Amino acid sequence: MAKEYPQMKFTSLIHHIDEKCLIQSHYELPGNKATGVKGTTKKKYGENLKENIQQLVARMKQKSYRPQPARRTYMWIRLKTIYSPPAILDVWK
Q: Where are the domains of the chain?
A: 14-88
**Positive/negative CA dihedral, 29, 54, 16, 38:** negative
Task: Give the model confidence (pLDDT) of 38-77 as tens digits.
Answer: 778 888 889 999 999 999 999 988 888 887 776 666 666 6
How far is residue 84's CA from residue 43's CA, in Å, rounded to a whole number?
Answer: 19
pTM for the predicted model, two decimal places: 0.61
Query: Residue 20: pLDDT above 90?
Result: yes
> What tens digit of pLDDT does each residue of 3-15 get?
888 888 877 777 7
